[in-house]
Amino acid sequence: MILITGAAGLIGSNIAFYLNSIGHRDLILVDQLRSSEKWKNLTSLNYRDYYEKEQLSTLLKSGKIKPSTIFHMGACSDTTEKNASYLIENNFQFSKELFLISQDIGAKFIYASSAATYGEGENGYCDNETDIDMLRPLNMYGYSKQMFDQWLLHNGYMSSAVGLKYFNVYGPNEYHKGQMRSLVLKAYEQIVQNGQINLFKSYKPEYQDGEQMRDFLYVKDAAKMTVHFMDSAHSGIFNLGTSECRTWNDLAKSIFSAMKLQENIQYIDMPEELKEKYQYYTKADISKLRSTGYTESLMSIEDAVEDYVQRYLVNQSHL
C-alpha cells in the first residue's frame, strides 16, 4: 500500500498517475479538497481509498491503513503566504507528526522539500545535508521547508527520510493553484486573451529583462524522479531539476512556438512585495540524484511545453 498526501495537487496527482501507469493501484490518497476545483485531478486515478488530511493521523495510528511508503507532498506551496503560523502548522508541524508515525509503522518516508530553501543561491545549489544550516530562504514558505529539513538533520532522522528539493515544476493538473500556477499556464491564458505574454522586468543590472534564469522541470519528469526513490535504499536530501538553466524569455518563446504564434513579449513592473524575495537564478545540481542510479533522460522546455500546451491546455484537460 502506498500513501500520497497532497494527492490532488500538481505533483501528488502526477505521482499517482505515474504509479498507476506502472501497475500500482493500491493507493491511499489524502488531501484537503474543500471548495477548490482540484478534485478534478483525482478523476483519472485508480486508488483504493481517499481521506481528508484531518483523518490521516488517527487512521495511521489505529492501524486501519498500513502503507509501506508515504509520499508526503501535501503543503501550503504559496510563496507569497504571509501567515507564518499557518505555514508552520501545515508545512512543519504536520510533517513532523507524519514522519514520526512513519517511523512507528515502518513506512518509507519521501517528502517534498523545495528549491526555495536555497534563497538567492549565495551558498550554491548543492544538496549536501552538511550545507543545510547555511541556507537562507527569501520567503516564509521556503523557510517552513527549511525548518523541516533542519529538524530531521538536527534530530538524527535524515538517514530515515528522502527529502526532494523540487525546482520550478510545471505541467498538467495545476489549474487550481491560483497565483502559484506556472508561467506556462498563465502565459497561455494571456495569449488567448490578448495575444501577448507579460514578464517581470529585471532589477539587477547583470540580468536583462526576461533573462532571469531558472531550472524548469516538467511535472512528468518530477513524478518519475520521485517514484524512483520508492525502491531505492538511498536517503537524505536530493535536488530534482534538469541541471540546465533557461531564461523566462526562452520559456515564453517556447509557449508561442507550441501555439504556433508570433512572439509578443511585454515586460511589466514587479510588485514591490516580491522585489526582495525574487530568485534571479536557480540551477539544480542533480549529480547526487544520478549517483542513485536514475538514468532517465529529461524533457527540454521546448518539448515539455509543446506536450503541455497541445495535450492539455488547448483542451483545458487534466491527466
**How many CB atoms are located within 10 Å of the residue 145 CB?**
28
Q: What confidence category does residue 276 fall into, taking pLDDT thresholds of 50, 70 and 90? A: confident
Q: Which pLDDT value is given to residue 277?
A: 81
Q: Which pLDDT value is given to residue 35?
A: 83
Q: What is the pLDDT of residues 128-157, one digit of tens each?
A: 999 999 999 999 999 999 999 999 999 999
Q: Which residues are catalytic?
A: 141, 177
Beta bridge partners of 260: none
pLDDT at position 295 over 90: yes
Distance, in Å, from the CA atom of 269 to the CA atom of 202, rounded to the nearest integer, reads 9
Q: Which pLDDT value is given to residue 278?
A: 87
Q: What is the pLDDT of residues 203-249, one digit of tens each?
A: 999 999 999 999 999 999 999 999 999 999 999 999 999 999 999 99
Q: Which residue type sits at 122?
A: E
The residues, any chain, with a CB within 8 Å of residue 107's CB and separated by 6 or more, are: 3, 66, 67, 68, 69, 70
pLDDT at position 162 over 90: yes
pLDDT at position 36 over 90: no
Distance, in Å, from the CA atom of 155 to the CA atom of 95, rounded to the nearest integer, reads 14
pLDDT at position 261 over 90: yes
The residues, any chain, with a CB within 8 Å of residue 101's CB and separated by 6 or more, are: 57, 60, 61
Q: Which residue type sits at 224?
A: K
Distance, in Å, from the CA atom of 303 to the CA atom of 236, rounded to the nearest integer, reads 31
Alpha carbon 250 to chain centroid, angstroms: 21
Percent of the chain with pLDDT over 70: 100
Which domains does the chain show, CATH number per domain?
A: 2-169+216-243+282-298 (3.40.50.720)
Q: Which pLDDT value is given to residue 167?
A: 95
Q: pTM of the predicted model, to two decimals? A: 0.95
Q: Report, as an integer, the average pLDDT of 172-200.
A: 94
Q: Which pLDDT value is given to residue 284?
A: 95
φ, ψ at 265 (rounded to 5°): -110, 130
pLDDT at position 274 over 90: no
Q: Which pLDDT value is given to residue 289?
A: 98
- Please, is 57 exposed, middle or buried when counting C-beta atoms within 10 Å of its C-beta (0-12, 13-18, 19+)? middle
> Mean pLDDT of all residues in the chain?
95
